[in-house]
Amino acid sequence: MKGARERWVRTGGVELCVAELGDPERPTVVLVHGYPDSKEVWSEVAVRLAGRFHVVLYDVRGHGRSTAPRPLRGGFTLAKLTDDFLAVVDAVSPDRPVHLVGHDWGSVQSWEFVTVGRTEGRIASFTSISGPSLDHFGHWIDARLKRPTPRRAGQLLGQGAKSWYVYLLHTPVLPELAWRGPLGKRWPKILERAERVPGGDYPTGSLPSDAAHGAWLYRDNVRARLRRPRPDAYAHAPVQLITPRQDAFLSERLYDDLDRWVPRLTRRTLPVKHWVPRTRPDQVAAWIDQFVTSVDGGRPAPAATGRHADRFAGQLVLVTGAGSGIGRATAIAFAEAGARIVAVDRDAEAAARTAELARLAGAAGAWAEPADVSDEQAMEVLAEKVHHQYGVLDVLVNNAGIGLAGSFLTTTTDDWRKVLDVNLWGVIHGCRLFGARMAERGQGGHIVTIASAAAYQPSRALPAYSTSKAAVLMLSECLRAELAPRGIGVTAVCPGFVNTGITATARFTGVDEAEELRRRRRSARLYGLRNYPPEKVATAVLDAVAADRAVVPVTPEAKAARLLSRFAPRLSRRIARVEPRL
Ligand code: NAD
């Protein structure tokens, strides 16, 4: 690993290869790898943490450059792995407790470290990724066997099916032959295809022997522990649990009962598969940093408690048109979830106010950036500044939009230009400039566009506005198809009538100024009577991102219009002919 200092630690008949990065005076973070891996699985996360922490990685016995115990059978028990961990900690941080992070089997063994008495006082915090405690797992199974409701039986069967490889690893010799033969050769390609792990210098050449030796991790521990789980496996340090929601090997339900074992638990989720240290190093490093810093500062509980705080805490979210209505409500909802907010609006004061409200709501940071989304150059400058100062976005919400009502024949080319410039070009600029960087980073993300029910419900009264929104809807669908292989979701949110300031600024064509003003007032009154709050649209936005939905109609009329357009298009066309009386 580039820039790492290496040393050897002798313990229990093996020699462990230990690598260190960063200043040893800083808090120590120990990263423990899983199966079939070596410490290199952490290389991307380690370099990101090294600027702020003393980062320590070691090859688990029998893996990477550490030597293997002889005989192998009985050489990988959790008790021996705990001895190894303590020997490493004695060597790298003799006077201060360390912050422990484990992935896969690194997490399984770390659960042992953090729940046995002899490590008490040596561990300041534990971040667990994709690897449960075997004791907790044993109790989880017991509870479901003793009271098998249909739901719990389903959970048991679900996890049972995901554990197919564990049964295989218990067969003698076969796993060793497979790993030292064809499986070992194909593994990097399998990881790339099935797990979207980027290729390169990982996995390392030691993979076949790591995997062959590592089979003993399972054989020496799994059956014995699941049969007789320890009754007192309580964590003696705060725990942060990062759960990849698309893990092919572990069900999310495994962690349902975890609060029973962990007095101070912080939950985080990611919409990805198992190998998060390789596929999402930025997010994993950021959450470790945040957690370690909060524990060291004496604040182990996360500040954010809003909807989906587990998913969005610390993420960078940019909302356009954030100065009012749906945009402001969305920025605040993400802030309540602990995200970092960039509030963009052409109205600088309104954007600043939103940033202030976002900070009060619990944002991990909030900044106002005045910009006109229809101005390509201004958007380029904005993107440059955001990427430079705050980083690559995790979520982009293209919300800025303006209203325009009036028949086609009374709509001037100038009217068309204005509405398309903001409602469509604004979205195009946002997706191009911020989406490109998201794709380039290769660590996923999400783009939301605020379209409208007008995108699929035609109306003689809104030809230009509806056209702009239909274009946004189609753009979202196309982009969703293009960006899916890069792990970037795209969602079109389609509200109906929402009580915001949009009516006060909407343009009405074909009438004089006095009549336009009257129509604005009247439509504002009607929207007020309908009284659907923008906060509910914001909730729908967060839910949609969390669930990666493609098209989300919000408000009953938007849902009805969507159904009509699909199943009763004739009726939808009849409604289009109705002239609203304003
Ligand atoms: P709003 O007028 O309350 O807020 C829009 C915000 O966008 C304002 O702060 C405004 O300053 C900003 N903005 C306008 N043009 C901009 C530009 N060129 N650059 C940067 N900022 C700009 O409106 P809202 O109802 O919250 O609308 C938000 C989005 O929701 C729009 O895209 C709108 O079309 C869509 N929408 C609204 C409704 C509704 O009933 N309110 C229904 C469906 C869709």
Residue-level length of the chain: 582
Q: How confident is the model at residue 169, as a pLDDT?
A: 87
pLDDT at 448 over 60: yes
Q: What is the pLDDT of residues 4-40, one digit of tens each?
A: 999 999 999 999 999 999 999 999 999 999 999 999 9
Report if pTM > 0.85. Answer: yes
pLDDT at 311 over 60: yes
Q: How confident is the model at residue 302, as a pLDDT?
A: 55
What is the pLDDT confidence band of residue 581, given thresholds at 50, 70 and 90? confident
What is the pLDDT confidence band of residue 428, given thresholds at 50, 70 and 90? very high
Burial 10-38 (b: 16+ CB within 10 A, else e): ebeebebbbbbbbeeeebbbbbbbbbbbb
Element (H or E) spanning 144, and its range?
A: helix 134-146
Q: Give the closest residue (by CA) to ligand 1 atom 39.
A: 498
- Index of the ligand 1 atom closest to the CA of residue 465: 34
- Bridge pairing between strands 340-345 and 365-370: parallel
CA separation for the pair 389, 392 (Å, rounded): 9
Q: Give the closest residue (by CA) to ligand 1 atom 33.
A: 401
Q: What is the pLDDT of residues 42-92, one digit of tens each?
A: 999 999 999 999 999 999 999 999 999 999 999 999 999 999 999 999 999
What is the pLDDT confidence band of residue 301, given thresholds at 50, 70 and 90? low
Burial 361-378 (b: 16+ CB within 10 A, else e): bbbbebbbbbbbbbbbee
464 burial (CB, 10 Å; 0-12 / 13-18 / 19+) is buried
CA separation for the pair 557, 241 (Å, rounded): 40
Q: Which domains does the chain have, with CATH numbers?
A: 5-296 (3.40.50.1820), 311-497+533-576 (3.40.50.720)
**Hey, how many other C-beta atoms are within 10 angstroms of the C-beta on 525?**
12
Q: Which of 494, 466, 491, 473 is nearest to 554 (CA)?
A: 494
Q: Ligand 1 centroid vs 391 CA: distance in angstroms? A: 25
CA separation for the pair 373, 433 (Å, rounded): 11
Q: Ligand 1 centroid vs 253 CA: distance in angstroms? A: 40
- Index of the ligand 1 atom closest to the CA of residue 423: 32
Sign of CA dihedral 360, 363, 369, 373: negative
Q: How confident is the model at residue 467, as a pLDDT?
A: 98
Q: Give the closest residue (by CA) to ligand 1 atom 2.
A: 502
From 382, 418, 500, give the residue whose CB has the most ligand 1 atoms within 8 Å, as the site to mutate.
Answer: 500
Tokens for 49, please give them. Answer: 């943490």
Q: What is the pLDDT of residues 352-406, one digit of tens each?
A: 999 999 999 999 999 999 999 999 999 999 999 999 999 999 999 999 999 999 9
The binding-site residues of ligand 1, defined as CB within 6 angstroms of any ligand atom, are: 320-321, 323-327, 345-347, 350, 372-374, 399-402, 422, 426, 450, 452, 495, 497-498, 500-502, 505, 534
Q: What is the pLDDT of residues 116-172, one digit of tens each?
A: 999 999 999 999 999 999 999 999 999 999 988 999 999 989 888 888 888 888 888
Q: Give the closest residue (by CA) to ligand 1 atom 41.
A: 498
Q: Ligand 1 centroid vs 325 CA: distance in angstroms? A: 7
Q: Ligand 1 centroid vs 181 CA: distance in angstroms? A: 60
CA separation for the pair 202, 49 (Å, rounded): 19
The residue whose two tokens read 């998060």 is 276
Please, how many CA atoms are within 13 Å of residue 253, restricted to the half-sphere of its CB? 16
pLDDT at 303 over 80: no
Q: Give the closest residue (by CA) to ligand 1 atom 7.
A: 321
Q: Ligand 1 centroid vs 30 CA: distance in angstroms? A: 47
pLDDT at 300 over 60: no
From 326, 369, 469, give the residue whose CB has the most ligand 1 atoms within 8 Å, as the site to mutate.
Answer: 326
| Residues assigned a catalytic role | 465
Q: Ligand 1 centroid vs 322 CA: distance in angstroms? A: 8
Q: Which of 375, 374, 327, 334 is nearest to 351 (CA)?
A: 327
CA separation for the pair 420, 248 (Å, rounded): 44
